[in-house]
Amino acid sequence: MKIAIGNDHAATELKYVIMEYVKELGHEVINFGTDHTRSCHYPEFGERVGRAVVAGEADCGILICGTGVGISIAANKIKGVRAAVCSDCTTARLVREHNDANIIAFGARIVGTELAKDIVKAYLDAEFLGGRHQTRIDMISELEEKNA
């Protein structure tokens, strides 16, 4: 699987750890994030990952900023993105199974390295369940169309 990753300055160090971990799991990583720790703007990186996922350049995405919130809000402005902030493994699994989230986000200032790895693994190992959940995804898509 191809996974797009994006980050701001608060998450550069954790990004490198997660990139290596995702490669160890057998996936390809496309780096859309910053590679430095100088202050920068997280919306740029949320947009880059969101556009790559929607365009099919990547199968899914991982976003990391200080909290995971700002960068996910930015990504969610891209039509077709369903980015969810996850600070635990259960949420990471359920956003994939129930919400068909195509991007997860977490905060470098919120979760530690090992928990971040566990969150990524829970998300990547899960699969969308469809059924009644597809009906809800369709409803979300309709909202997106109405407000485009």
Is-catalytic flag, 86?
A: no
Is-catalytic flag, 89?
A: no
Task: Say which of 36, 65, 86, 133 is annotated catalytic.
Answer: 65
Task: Say which of 27, 40, 41, 98 is annotated catalytic.
Answer: 98
Q: Tokens 């996922």, residue?
A: 53
CB 33 within 8 A of CB 9: no
CA–CA gap between residue 50 and residue 72 (Å, rounded): 9
Angle 113-125/89-97 helices, nearest 10 degrees?
A: 20
Q: Tokens 């259960």, residue?
A: 90
The catalytic residue positions are 65, 98
